[in-house]
Amino acid sequence: MWWIRERNSGHGNSRNSWNSQIPGRGQPGQGSGSGARVERTDGGVRVLVVEDEQYMARVIELGLRRDAMAVDVVHDGEAALEKLSVYDYDAVVLDRDLPVVHGDEVCRRIVAQGLECRVLMLTAAGRLGDKVEGLGLGADDYLAKPFDFPELVARLRALYRRSPLSHAPVLTFADLAFDTHRRRVTRAGTEIRLTPKEMAVLELLMRADGGVLGADYLLDKAWDAHAGPYTNAVRLVVHTLRKKLGEPRLVHTAISTGYYLEAA
């Protein structure tokens, strides 16, 4: 299990211990994932992490990206409100004790503006009264530090499944099946190993059920805010996805329009 803990002065270098707790760190043969706009998906979930402790924010960012989520990170409440005014997020991991604009006020504004993103408050204040107060502000869930990282991922996905636009856990198209809970893709019963980005793009295409999705749309859904509009990342991911899915081809190109699924 991976644990993320607060800094504890006088008890050694917590940064070194955190480094081994990032999913994929310290394990041979594994690297960190990679992750710009969104609206809603499950595999293409886009999360805003608002955490003033920069190293902890980085730990959360890397872990969520390894789970095929697109992640943006800010370190104060004002920056969070700016991001929320520009992008559509599926979920916000919100530290309560933030500089500039307090996390409580950020949560109030999310609710007052009717934003559809789910709010998971992440804070060192784990007493029952603090939890009740946080939920009373409009947060959808509350997780106290230190926490078990898989629990954070599970809570985020559970929040999304409870959203008005939640989706079935297992997607199917022709002989292709995608278990979005277990992050497992099979074709004709044979498992196919995909990268997090390939999974995110495939899930978007499967949810479109044959509809054409433009490269800009896929970029907005499955990449973070650092992905430039002129990147060829989508084309490259679609290319490798096609190869891994095999024949007969399922992923097709609509010239000058985008990509779609179609069975032979």
Work out the pLDDT band at 225, boundaries 50, 70, 90: low
Q: Which CATH class is domain 3-161?
A: alpha beta
> Rounded to whole angstroms, how far apart are CA atoms 68 and 121?
21
Delimiting residues of CATH 3.40.50.2300 domain(s) in the chain: 3-161
Q: Which has more pLDDT, 246 or 231?
A: 246
Q: What is the 3-state secondary structure (H, E, C) of the chain?
A: CCEECCCCCCCCCHHHHHHCCCCCCCCCCCCCCCCCCCCCCCCCCEEEEECCCHHHHHHHHHHHHHCCCEEEEECCHHHHHHHHHHCCCCEEEEECCCCCCCHHHHHHHHHHCCCCCEEEEEECCCCHHHHHHHHHCCCCEEEECCEEHHHHHHHHHHHHHCCCCCCCCEEEECCEEEECCCCEEEECCEEECCCHHHHHHHHHHHHHCCCCECHHHHHHHHCCCCCCCCCCHHHHHHHHHHHHHCCCCCEEEECCCEEEECCC
Residue 151's nearest CA partner among 93, 213, 105, 201 is: 93
Q: In one letter, which amino acid is 75?
A: H
* pLDDT score of 228: 61
Instruction: Give the C-alpha separation, 26 to 23, whole Å.
Output: 9
- Does the pLDDT of residue 17 top 50, yes or no? no
CB atoms within 10 A of CB 154: 13
- Tell me the pLDDT band of 60, cut-offs 50, 70 and 90: very high
Most confident of 21-35, 73-87, 129-143: 73-87
Q: What fold, for 170-261? A: Arc Repressor Mutant, subunit A (1.10.10)
pLDDT per position as a tens digit, 172-196: 999 999 987 778 899 999 999 999 8
- Cβ neighbours of residue 128 under 8 Å, at least 6 residues apart? none
pLDDT at 6: 41
Q: Which residue has the higher pLDDT, 193 or 27?
A: 193
In this prediction, residues 223-247 reach a mean pLDDT of 84
The predicted model scores a pTM of: 0.57
Q: For position 111, what pLDDT does the model report?
A: 87
How many CB atoms are located within 10 Å of the residue 99 CB?
Answer: 12
pLDDT value of residue 261: 95
The band of 82, judged by pLDDT with boundaries at 50, 70 and 90, is very high
Residue span(s) of the chain under CATH 1.10.10.10 come to 170-261
**Residues β-bridged to residue 179:** 170, 184
216 compared with 94, residue with greater pLDDT: 94
